[in-house]
Chain A
């Protein structure tokens, strides 16, 4: 068996990052969740049930597609796409919501809540709520409700209540605040399905475990078709769940390089971006210590990205750890560049990506050009782009 890194530790720390910075009211719920999770991850019947839903309901494994046209255009390394956009509901988010919903069932919770930015996690949560019969409330910033109308409608169709959040930046950060406040209030009968590898322990660990299916499949798929491991893994990073899900199973394969692509918004030196790892400093938001965009008084700065899913001033603690130990490299891609990536993959591959994923596509194209033809890049195509059509229409 492969040696697994012992992160996080018992207290939920990835090196210096992570922890459990939450009101006392939530501590017992987090302990209950941690207990249920540990039991479930060792329980064959739980894993079989999760595997069943991932395969028969969500359509896994998702293909690892060789993007021949993008490869040809770049003239360099081979580009493969891990097609999370083909998973049910159109993004990788379903991997996590299925796992957490099954856990919520085990914990006998009656209601689930979630935060959402782009609406992909909200849709994936509303979906499992419909499937398993939970009452479901989704918190979403009014700015995001405006820019991701299609997903708002999908959530409502699925029977969820979408609760608008009008405070602060009116985006993902404030939706998360409001979801935590709801959880503090209704903690006894409600499970909070956090959508990314952020939040207090055990969330970053749990979401990573549920999203690791991305990397595990990629590993066996590329080994089967190319008889070797890829040279680069490229994925976008907002909170960082699709990227950790892709990276983590390769952690001990030192030759596989990880590249996390953050949203550089209007430019990394413009101040209007969401590049927490590139421009932030260690701080505490939403229950964990991690890189954070903040001012000199420790107030959280507003993030900006064309993509609602990346528009978040924090990042998962495991990414902060990867940055600190230099296991991963983090780069920025601007709004404009993401649109270039969006166009390229749409026109040349016939795949309309989510704007989040378009950031990774742009960087992969740039990287491929510099590499020789025998190198392999795998891009995590985390979601499909139907939800972003209106934004793209405005810009192209």
Chain B
């Protein structure tokens, strides 16, 4: 059993939901990311998504576009991020998954990518521009290496597609809360509850909800129906706002704690 399966098994026993945080690797720089990872785990993050920046992140809103762009300006790439992961694994035991677009993986070679990621201590990958139909070979190789491929389901997915996504996803299913790109929203769609319930009906795999979630109130609301809550842009915004500030890490930790508490509350 890999780290992700263990996590959801443990949470199920405790009747708790997973609090998942996204950070762009290398934003504002790699050593900041290295410092953040253990802080996040301590603050309550059950799983951390580590973004490998891409030049053309078409599923991302302005916040993550900007963090990706700045990380790339610093020269961050798959190799330097893998080094960061190897070093962080000494201090972090929570599952770590990569989130990136397909081209950097393709260029690295997806077999090498999976092998090197697994070796460094990464447990799975989320690729927003890779639907299950295009992931055939990658999925096969990943399965063999017990490396999870987490696919996304969306409000526009038909039932037939939801079944396929549920079948192909390993680790958990990433449910996209809204039609749109990543980024904090004041309101989430009304039909979110119905969509998540429908998805939960057709699968036993954990369903985690992301996109748009920015407040403890929203996080608590979603944790009632899903198995996990994913927070990305709202967290990157905190980092952005406090960049260069001495208390930046404290502020990041306190935001993570408040979101985590909301998710973990019963």
Where the two chains meet, the residues of A that have a C-beta atom closer than 8 Å to any C-beta of B are 11, 19-29, 167-168, 173-174, 177, 180-181, 184-188, 282-287, 292, 294, 296-300
Most buried by B among A27, A174, A177, A296: A27
Contact B133 A299 (CB under 8 A): no
Question: Can you report 5 A-B residue pairs in the complex whose CB atoms are below 8 A from each other?
Answer: A24-B128, A168-B55, A184-B58, A184-B59, A286-B58
By a CB distance below 8 angstroms, the chain B residues around A174 are 56
Could you tell me if A299 and B104 are in contact, using CB atoms closer than 8 angstroms? yes
**Closest CB-CB distance, B74 to chain A, in whole Å?**
13
| Beta-carbon contact of B134 and A184 below 8 Å | no
Contacting pair B107 A19 (CB below 8 A): no
- Which of A28, A188, A294 is within 8 Å of B103, CB to CB? A294
Contacts A181-B58, A184-B179, A286-B58 given: A298-B156 contact, CB under 8 Å? no
Name the one of A20, A28, A188 contacting B134, with C-beta atoms under 8 angstroms.
A20
Partner of B152 from A24, A29, A181, A284 at Cβ < 8 Å? A24
Give B93-116 interface residues, CB cut-off 8 Å to A: 101-108
Which residues from chain A contact B58 at a C-beta distance below 8 Å?
23, 177, 180-181, 184, 286
- Whole-angstrom distance between the alpha carbons of A173 and B103 in the complex? 15
Do A25 and B54 contact each other (CB < 8 Å), given the known contacts A294-B103, A296-B107, A298-B106? no
Determine if B133 and A20 form an interchain contact, defined as CB atoms under 8 angstroms apart: yes
In contact, B104 and A24 (Cβ under 8 angstroms): no
Q: Smallest CB–CB gap between B177 and chain A, Å? A: 11
Known: A23-B154, A25-B154. A185 touches B180 (CB 8 A): yes
Which residues of B are found within 8 Å of A27, using beta-carbon distances?
A: 131, 154, 156-157, 161
Residue among B54, B151, B176, B180 with the most chain A CB within 10 A? B180
Chain B residues with Cβ below 8 Å from A173 are 56
Which of B55, B78, B104, B176 lies in contact with A25, CB distance below 8 A? Answer: B176
Q: Is B72 located at the chain interface by the 8 A CB criterion?
A: yes
Q: Are A287 and B129 in contact, with the CB atoms below 8 A?
A: yes
Inter-chain residue pair count (beta carbon < 8 A):
114
CB-nearest residue of chain B to A287: B129
Q: Tell whether B142 is near chain A: CB-to-CB under 8 Å.
A: no
Contacting residues of chain B (112-162) with chain A, CB-CB under 8 angstroms: 128-131, 133-134, 151-158, 161
Indicate whether B39 reaches chain A with its CB closer than 8 angstroms: no
Determine whether B214 belongs to the interface, using a CB cutoff of 8 Å to chain A: no
* Contact call B107/A23, Cβ cutoff below 8 A: no
Name the residue on B nearest A297 (C-beta). B77
B159-176 CB mask vs A (1 if < 8 Å, else 0) is: 001000100000000001
A28: which B residues are within 8 A, CB to CB? 156-158, 161
Q: Is B33 among interface residues, defined by CB-CB distance under 8 A? A: no
Give chain B nearest CB distance to A257 CB in angstroms.
32
Task: Chain B residues near A23: list those with CB within 8 A.
Answer: 58-59, 128-129, 152, 154, 176
Task: Determine the chain B residues whose CB is within 8 A of the CB of A168 once the complex forms.
Answer: 55-56, 69
Known contacts A181-B58, A299-B72; A24 and B153 CB within 8 A of each other: yes
Q: Is B181 an interface residue (CB 8 A)?
A: yes
Decide yes or no: A181 and B107 within 8 Å by CB, A168-B55, A299-B54 being known contacts: no
Q: Chain A residues near B69 (CB, 8 Å)?
A: 167-168
Does B223 interact with chain A (Cβ within 8 Å)? no
**B residues less than 8 Å from A29 (CB atoms):** 156
Q: Does B65 touch A at the CB level, under 8 Å?
A: yes
Q: In this complex, which of B54, B58, B107 has the most chain A Cβ atoms within 10 angstroms of its Cβ?
A: B58
| Apart from A25-B180, A181-B61, A298-B103: 13 A-B pairs, beta carbons within 8 A | A20-B131, A21-B134, A23-B176, A24-B156, A24-B165, A25-B155, A184-B58, A184-B179, A283-B103, A284-B101, A284-B129, A294-B103, A298-B105
